[in-house]
Each structure stands twice: as structure tokens, then as C-alpha cells.
Amino acid sequence: MSRTANGGGTQEALPETVEWADMGRLRYADAWALQERLFQRVVAAKLLRRETGAPNRQGKHYLLLGDHLEVFTLGRNGAEANLLVSPEKLAAEGIDFFRINRGGDITFHGPGQLVGYPILDLDCLFTDIGRYLRLIEECVIRVLASYGLEGQRLPGATGVWLDPDNPFRARKICAIGIRASRWVTMHGFALNVNTDLDRFRLIVPCGITDKAVTSLQAELGHPVEVPEVVERWQREFTGLFGVELSQNQDILNH
């Protein structure tokens, strides 16, 4: 933690505060619109600091956690060919589809999954996107370790995997895709907790054809309480990023 001058001595700089809210089970379109509103709020606060000459400390930061009704999302550079069903089939199944402005290819969101959208001003933390992605991965890796699972990285592919070096057993448990502009992040991660894995058969997950998808439930053999996973993830997030969390449900409505 940095130190700031205080007369003749020094004092510890206050950690950044991240306001967070439990989205509950929110339709993806509503969550995306909410992210965009908060993203613009963070950017506006950053520009105001620059105009007034204020230091890059105590910026605006938000975190949204929850899950979604069933939806496929395709990143800005993804291939629509990785969606293996027709729009008519999606409509019949009640599954939404969106091409969105994050990195990565196609993935599935649905009930029983933990999605997290950190909307952070990295100017107040560190200006390194690679480090940001590795820390998001590390949060998940440590949560998996608390359940006795060894989450790992796959070189050249963002996300968290089990047995990534075994071509017959490699399986992805957490997808990560972000957008960053003006050093402000949005979108984030999707950790399969009790997710319906059959839905991944309708896509080529993340555009990777030779790897499987898994969940905490599939690996442990029983459902896992999502609030428990949230608590464990938040603990790792605050420790690794050196921030404090403050719950504020009002950010869902303003």
C-alpha cells in the first residue's frame, strides 16, 4: 500500500472502495445496460479528477454479481458460426442471443452460474490489463482450491481450466471476457457453479473445439450454494486487488 505525506510524517493511503450489488437473476440486456451506465459514471469521475488536478485516488469503482436467464453472448471478434443453432431454435428454447463489445468468442450464461462484472478505474489501481486478467483468474483459482480443485491457466487462452495439459480431460470451468477503455473495465467472468452444461452443446464454447466445459457441481458431485461461492470470491478479490467492498443495492436503480 502506498504512503502519502501528512505534515512532517506519513500515513497509509486509504484503499480504494468498490461499491457492489447483488443483481439477482437479471436478463442479460438489463445487466449490459446497467454496466454501460456505471461505466460512463466511472469515466465521468475520472475526467473530473483530471480537470481539477485531483490525484488518481479514491475513484469510482463498481462490482455486479449474480446470474442471468439463459443467453448466449458473442464477443466483438467472435464467429457467429460458433453458434450451432438457428434463431428459430433459440426462440423456441427461450434463449437470448447478443453480440456484445467484450473480448473473447461465444459463451453461455444461465441460472446457477456466478457472473461478475468489475467496473474498475485501473488508473487508481494499476494500469496493466494483463495483470488485471491474471488477478481475475487468480481469484477463481483460489476459490476452486477452497473446494479441493486445482484450477489452472491454459497458455494463450484467458479463463480457468481443470487438467489443461491433458488433451483427453481438459475442461473449462470459468470464462473471462472484458472490455477496457480509458483504463476502465467492464464485463468480466462467468464461473460455472450449478450451470446446465447441456446448453454448451449448442455452441463451440469460446471458439475452442477440442476442450470440454465443467462446473463445480459436476466436479464435486453435488450442488454448491452460490452465496457461499460469492463470499469466497469476494474475499479473494479484496485481498488480491487490495480494495474494500461496500454493498450498495441502489446502484442497480440509479
Query: Which residues belong to the active site?
Result: 206
Residue 157: which of 207, 118, 201, 214 has the closest Cα?
Answer: 207
- Identify each DSSP E strand in 111-243 by its residue range: 113-119, 152-154, 157-162, 171-181, 184-192, 212-213
In terms of Cα–Cα distance, which of 176, 174, 177 is closest to 193?
174
Q: Are 151 and 233 in contact (CB under 8 A)?
A: no
Plot region of 235 (φ>0 → left; ψ -120 to 50 → alpha; else → beta): alpha
Ranges assigned E (strand) in 27-112: 62-67, 71-74, 96-99, 106-109
| Residues 6+ positions from 9 with CB-CB distance below 8 Å | none
d(CA 15, CA 195): 34
Which residues have a Cβ under 8 Å from the Cβ of 80 and sit 6 or more positions away?
A: 74, 99
Question: How many CA atoms within 13 Å lie on the side-chain side of 189?
Answer: 26
